[in-house]
Amino acid sequence: MQFLFTITTVYLAMENGALEQISYSVAKKILDITKEIQVKKHEYVLSKQLLRSGTSIMANIQEAGAAQTRKDFILKLSITRKEVRETIKWIELLTYGQYISPTVALRVQLQLTSIFKLLNASIGTAKKICEILLINYTENKIAKAAQDVNTLMHQLINLILSSSLRIPHCFCSSSCVQ
C-alpha cells in the first residue's frame, strides 16, 4: 500500500510538472513532422524511426503511471529517457539530411530536453524514495528480530525461574558431590 501511494505521489508530481503535457505535445509535433517528411519528401524509413521513438515517449510515461512495482516504475522512466535520447538523434540526422528545418528541429529538441530533465528528476526522486523505504523496511526487520529475541529470552528466563526446566548445578560425572 505504501508503494502505491509513493508511486502515485511521484506520478502526480510528474503530471503537475507538465511531463505528460509536454510528451503529448512532442508526440503530436513528431506526428506532424513525420507526415510532412513522408508526403513532401517521400522519405519513409527514417521518418518511421522518428515516429516510433518520438511517440513511445508519451506511451512510456503513461505506462510508468501504471507501474506495478518500484522497479517497474523506475525501469519505465529509464526506458522513456532512452527514447528521448534516440528521438533527439533521429531529429539531428533528419535535420542533417535536410528533411527537417533547423528551426523546427530546435523547437522539438528543446521540448525533448525538458522531458529528459524532468525524467532525470523523477527517476532520482523515485530512487531516493525506494532507498528510504528499503532503509525503513530493514530497520523495522532488525527491530522486529531484536524484539523476538528479547521475547524468547524472557520466556526462557521465566521457564528457568519457574523450575519447569531443571538445570543441574554441575555437569560433571555422577561421582560429583553436589
The predicted-structure confidence for 93-149, as pLDDT tens digits, reads as follows 999 999 999 999 999 999 999 999 989 888 888 888 777 777 777 777 777 777 777
Is residue 35, in this structure, part of any structural domain at all? yes
Cα–Cα distance, 96 to 109 (Å, whole number): 14
Is residue 110, in this structure, part of any structural domain at all? yes
Nearest to 99 by CA among 48, 52, 149, 46: 46
**Radius of gyration, CA atoms only, the chain:** 30
What is the reported pLDDT for 84? 97
Domains of the chain: total: 1
The full length of the chain comes to: 178
Nearest to 31 by CA among 87, 95, 80, 96: 87
What is the reported pLDDT for 160? 60
Query: Mean pLDDT across the stretch 80-87?
Result: 97
**Domain limits at 98?**
2-138
> What's the CATH code of the domain at 102?
1.20.1440.60
Nearest to 11 by CA among 66, 84, 72, 78: 66
Cα–Cα distance, 28 to 34 (Å, whole number): 10
Is residue 28, in this structure, part of any structural domain at all? yes
Is residue 163, in this structure, part of any structural domain at all? no
Residue 107's CB: how many other CB atoms inside 10 A? 13
Is residue 23, in this structure, part of any structural domain at all? yes
Cα–Cα distance, 88 to 107 (Å, whole number): 11
Is residue 65, in this structure, part of any structural domain at all? yes
Whose cell is 510538472? That residue is: 17
What is the reported pLDDT for 34? 97
Is residue 152, in this structure, part of any structural domain at all? no
pTM of the model: 0.69
Cα 115 to the chain's mean position, in Å?
Answer: 16
What is the reported pLDDT for 5? 46
Q: CA torsion sign, 138 to 140 to 141 to 142?
A: positive
Is residue 117, in this structure, part of any structural domain at all? yes
